[in-house]
Chains A and B, each alone.
Chain A
Amino acid sequence: MAFFLETLLGGLMTGMLYSLVALGFVLIFKASGVFNFAQGAMVLFAALAMARFSEWIPGWLGLDSKVLANVLAFIVAGALMFVVAWLIEFLVLRHLVNQEGATLLMATLGITYFLEGVGQSLFGSDIYKIDIGMPKDPMFLLEGMFQGGVLVNQEDLIAALIAAGLVAGLSLFFQKTKTGRALRAVADDHQAAQSIGIPLSRIWVIVWTVAGVVALVAGMIWGSKLGVQFSLTTVALRALPVVILGGLTSVPGAIIGGLIIGVGEKLSEVYLGPFVGGGIEIWFAYVLALVFLLFRPQGLFGEKIIDRV
């Protein structure tokens, strides 16, 4: 039982991290109807910026405090993501108003390669570490109930809490504010949104900045677990089945989709793995996404796609 709980918790926490990356996809899709292929590259770019600035800033300013260096690096990296968002709007999206979704998708594909290249030439292409001082020691819970207790990774727990807070904030923003309403409106119809006085360009800068900051948080957490390296971009691939499962247009969907996939991966690996020789973790998410595409293409919480014939 204790082992089952451990696996479950481990799955939930990994899932929370998938959710965080998936959230970036959902945000941009909701607000511009663009499937942003560049989300993975943005995670890498933000994480690289965070890692390198936290290394450089103490040298530039002669600081000793590690916390202060990390906070400053976070702020600088966040500002950089704003600049990236603004440039993307100014150089790319502005010229593609009212275009087909496929055109915009191809544009984000271009942005992906650009960000990966520029990120590595600015910040270097080695493996860097982000040390935000997260406790690495495991915790033992419920020792009274089970022998030896349930082992929980503190780092994962904190990451999950940060992710949960971010999600709660974003949900409020989307559902309750006029900017959130404007973002949803822009996603559905550019021209109509303009006619009621929503400034498209400002909305796009806002949403790409928010997605950039989400990428930064995701990059920071993944980076502190695994180190910042090129393979971070593949984290985005893991988030694809999450958005298919949860629905491309739903913030709660991204979270629950992430949790389901995180838990499903771990449980199936542990309990079904031995029968088929293991390795389920790698393909579980994709197979689940495939099943969803067959039977419920809008995902668990996505908006139903209605086409009039």
Chain B
Amino acid sequence: MNAATTTENAAAMADSALAEAPLSTKSIGEVILDVQNISLRFGGVKALTDISFDVREHEIRSIIGPNGAGKSSMLNCINGVYTPSEGSITFRGKTFSHMNSRQVAEMGVARTFQNLALFKGMSVLDNIMSGRNLKIKSNLFLQALRWGPAEREEIRHREFVERIIDFLEIQAHRKTPVGQLPYGLQKRVDLGRALAMEPQVLLLDEPMAGMNVEEKQDMSRFILDVNDEFGATIVLIEHDMGVVMDISDRVVVLDYGRKIGDGTPDEVRNNEDVISAYLGTSH
């Protein structure tokens, strides 16, 4: 893409959500995602037992808990990877007892992965572009020939992706196959792909696992900016207590598949059950 086409399509860009998103006008809204009495069993193993919580629009909602508490399982239920044994999930007023991943994606829920699940052989650009797949509507043959409306549409999506690349500060790696990038950058690409879906709810599964302090700061900043600028609601799983307490609006605490705490970071910090789950108690 050359500079001339970029300016030509500046107008077309104006309708993209990114351009419209107001800056830093965070106001927590209605309940957007409501999880009711979810239980999940694998044979005899109870991964989740009777979990209920809600997520409000524009908030950062964290799920924390010791290892094996069922955090990722919870996320996988919301994302449609696992089908809960019992319970229901209400998204924007529609209730589901089970969803499949595609429906979830179509409704505007995107996710990142704990163990990087990127398309390793594809470039950074293609990885993020793949997040736009559900939004590309033009005819297959026109796309193949890059002709007429299909070309204009491709350019529009590309502009959007370029903004994400700028936002995540990975301009220099645009054409690099993702598999060759260092870990911290791969995590950003993972986030970028999810952002390309223009999600209403963004599920982040340990976005800071295995990062050093500096990388964690960068990632925290991205998460806050995504929440602010893109207006996305964020459900965050994270181990780093400092980060969670700093950036979350509300926190759910799980232990052995049960909910033991729910509230603002301060409430959770002073909750007896939570303290004993993390530090142990004397009996």
Residues of chain A having any CB pair with chain B under 8 Å:
169, 172-173, 176-179, 181-182, 184-185, 187-189, 191-199, 249, 303-304, 306
Task: Specify which chain A residues have a CB less than 8 angstroms from the CB of B122 in the assembled complex.
Answer: 181, 184-185, 188
Judge whether A198 and B126 touch: CB under 8 Å: no
Question: CA of A179 to CA of B150 in the docked complex: distance in angstroms?
Answer: 13
* B101 interface contact, C-beta 8 A: yes
* B143 interface contact, C-beta 8 A: yes
A192 touching B133 in the complex, CB below 8 Å, given contacts A178-B143, A197-B101, A199-B102: no
A196 touching B133 in the complex, CB below 8 Å, given contacts A188-B120, A191-B113, A303-B177: yes
Question: CA of A182 to CA of B136 in the docked complex: distance in angstroms?
Answer: 12
Interface residues of B in 122-150 (CB under 8 A from A): 122, 126, 129-134, 136, 140, 143-146
Give, as a whole number of angstroms, the nearest-CB distance from B152 to chain A: 14
Interface string of B217-246 (1 = CB under 8 A from A): 000000000000000000000000000000
Task: Specify which chain A residues have a CB less than 8 angstroms from the CB of B145 in the assembled complex.
Answer: 172, 176
Contact of B119 among A177, A178, A185 (CB under 8 A): A185
Residue of A nearest to B101 (CB): A194
* B74 interface contact, C-beta 8 A: no
Question: CA of A295 to CA of B52 in the docked complex: distance in angstroms?
Answer: 57
Contact of A188 among B106, B113, B119 (CB under 8 A): B119
Question: CA of A181 to CA of B158 in the docked complex: distance in angstroms?
Answer: 14
Task: Specify which chain A residues have a CB less than 8 angstroms from the CB of B129 in the assembled complex.
Answer: 181
A188 touching B144 in the complex, CB below 8 Å, given contacts A303-B177, A306-B179: no
Judge whether A197 and B118 touch: CB under 8 Å: no
Task: Specify which chain A residues have a CB less than 8 angstroms from the CB of B110 in the assembled complex.
Answer: 195-196
Judge whether B130 and A194 touch: CB under 8 Å: no
Judge whether B134 and A197 touch: CB under 8 Å: yes
Q: How many A-B residue pairs have CB under 8 A?
A: 96
* B16 interface contact, C-beta 8 A: no
Residue of A nearest to B131 (CB): A196
The 4 closest A-B pairs by CB, nearest first: A197-B105, A192-B117, A188-B119, A194-B101
Give, as a whole number of angstroms, the nearest-CB distance from B151 to chain A: 10
Interface string of B89-123 (1 = CB under 8 A from A): 00000000000011011100011010001111110
A182 touching B133 in the complex, CB below 8 Å, given contacts A177-B140, A195-B79: yes
Judge whether B113 and A196 touch: CB under 8 Å: no
Judge whether A172 and B144 touch: CB under 8 Å: yes
Interface residues of B in 170-222 (CB under 8 A from A): 177, 179-180, 193-194, 197
- Size class of the B contact interface (CB-based, 8 Å): 35 or more
Q: Pick the most buried of A173, A194, A304: most chain B CB atoms within 10 A of its CB.
A: A194
Contact of B121 among A169, A179, A188, A191 (CB under 8 A): A188
Judge whether A197 and B102 touch: CB under 8 Å: yes
Task: Specify which chain A residues have a CB less than 8 angstroms from the CB of B168 in the assembled complex.
Answer: none
Q: Label chain A's interface by main secondary structure.
A: helix
Question: CA of A191 to CA of B112 in the docked complex: distance in angstroms?
Answer: 11
* B31 interface contact, C-beta 8 A: no
Judge whether B121 and A196 touch: CB under 8 Å: no
* B13 interface contact, C-beta 8 A: no
Task: Specify which chain A residues have a CB less than 8 angstroms from the CB of B113 in the assembled complex.
Answer: 191-192, 195
* B277 interface contact, C-beta 8 A: no
Task: Specify which chain B residues have a CB less than 8 angstroms from the CB of A303 in the assembled complex.
Answer: 120-121, 177, 179
Question: CA of A184 to CA of B194 in the docked complex: distance in angstroms?
Answer: 17
Judge whether A191 and B81 touch: CB under 8 Å: yes
Residue of B nearest to A302 (CB): B121
Judge whether B102 and A176 touch: CB under 8 Å: no
A249 touching B144 in the complex, CB below 8 Å, given contacts A182-B133, A197-B134: no
Task: Specify which chain A residues have a CB less than 8 angstroms from the CB of B144 in the assembled complex.
Answer: 169, 172-173, 176-177
Question: CA of A178 to CA of B81 in the docked complex: distance in angstroms?
Answer: 23
Residue of B nearest to A305 (CB): B179
Residue of B nearest to A179 (CB): B140
Give, as a whole number of angstroms, the nearest-CB distance from B132 to chain A: 8
Question: CA of A184 to CA of B130 in the docked complex: distance in angstroms?
Answer: 10
Task: Specify which chain A residues have a CB less than 8 angstroms from the CB of B140 in the assembled complex.
Answer: 173, 177, 179
* 5 A/B residue pairs, CB under 8 Å, sorted by A: A195-B111, A196-B194, A196-B197, A197-B133, A304-B177
Task: Specify which chain B residues have a CB less than 8 angstroms from the CB of A249 in the assembled complex.
Answer: 121
Give, as a whole number of angstroms, the nearest-CB distance from B28 to chain A: 26
Question: CA of A195 to CA of B146 in the docked complex: distance in angstroms?
Answer: 27
Judge whether A197 and B121 touch: CB under 8 Å: no
Question: CA of A198 to CA of B129 in the docked complex: distance in angstroms?
Answer: 13
Residue of A nearest to B135 (CB): A178
Q: Pick the most buried of A185, A193, A304: most chain B CB atoms within 10 A of its CB.
A: A185
Q: Pick the most buried of A169, A195, A303: most chain B CB atoms within 10 A of its CB.
A: A195
Contact of B146 among A176, A189, A306 (CB under 8 A): A176
Residue of B nearest to A170 (CB): B144
Task: Specify which chain B residues have a CB less than 8 angstroms from the CB of A198 in the assembled complex.
Answer: 102, 130, 133
Question: CA of A197 to CA of B130 in the docked complex: distance in angstroms?
Answer: 10
Question: CA of A244 to CA of B263 in the docked complex: distance in angstroms?
Answer: 57
Residue of B nearest to A188 (CB): B119
Question: CA of A35 to CA of B143 in the docked complex: distance in angstroms?
Answer: 28
Known: A169-B144, A181-B122, A195-B117; 20 extra A-B contacts, CB below 8 A, are A173-B144, A185-B119, A185-B122, A187-B121, A188-B119, A188-B120, A188-B121, A189-B120, A191-B81, A192-B118, A193-B119, A194-B105, A195-B111, A196-B105, A196-B131, A196-B133, A198-B130, A198-B133, A199-B102, A303-B179
